């Protein structure tokens, strides 16, 4: 992963929040209420736009919330075959 500086520094407020600049949000196509995943890599904090996917196969098509987990319709149908 190649990281590049965009020359913007933001301070963490007293509640631990950081405001992402509009230019960065536009560049990354982040809209209000979009999810952002947070990763730690050694001494780096990495933010990634959240794209939900099936917990079993990783598909991002035809997703459902099943008991708090994201699952695609195909995997849900497969689990039904095992439940019989």
Residue 36: which CATH number?
2.10.260.10
Q: Is the pTM of this model over 0.85?
A: no
Instruction: Please tell me whether residues 65 and 39 are part of one structural domain.
Output: no
Q: Phi and psi of 71, rounded to 5°?
A: -140, 140
**Within this chain, do residues 40 and 56 fall inside the same structural domain, yes or no?**
no
> Exposed/middle/buried for 81, CB within 10 Å: 0-12, 13-18, 19+?
exposed
Both tokens of residue 76? Answer: 């849900």
**Owning domain of residue 57:** 52-84
Q: What share of the chain is helix, strand, coil (3-state, %, to 5)?
A: 20, 25, 55
pLDDT digits over 4-47, tens only? 777 888 999 999 999 999 988 998 899 999 999 999 999 989 99
Residue-level length of the chain: 84
The pLDDT tens digits of the residues spanning 35-68 come to: 999 999 999 899 999 888 999 999 999 999 988 8
Give the number of domains in the chain: 2
């Amino acid at each position: 992963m190649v990281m590049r500086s965009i020359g913007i520094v933001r301070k963490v407020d007293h509640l631990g929040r950081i405001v992402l600049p509009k230019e960065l949000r536009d560049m990354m196509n982040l809209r209000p209420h979009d999810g952002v995943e947070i990763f730690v890599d050694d001494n780096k904090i990495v933010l990634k736009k959240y794209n939900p996917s099936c917990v079993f196969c990783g598909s991002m098509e035809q997703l459902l919330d099943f008991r708090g987990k994201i699952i695609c319709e195909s995997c849900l149908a497969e689990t039904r075959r095992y439940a019989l």
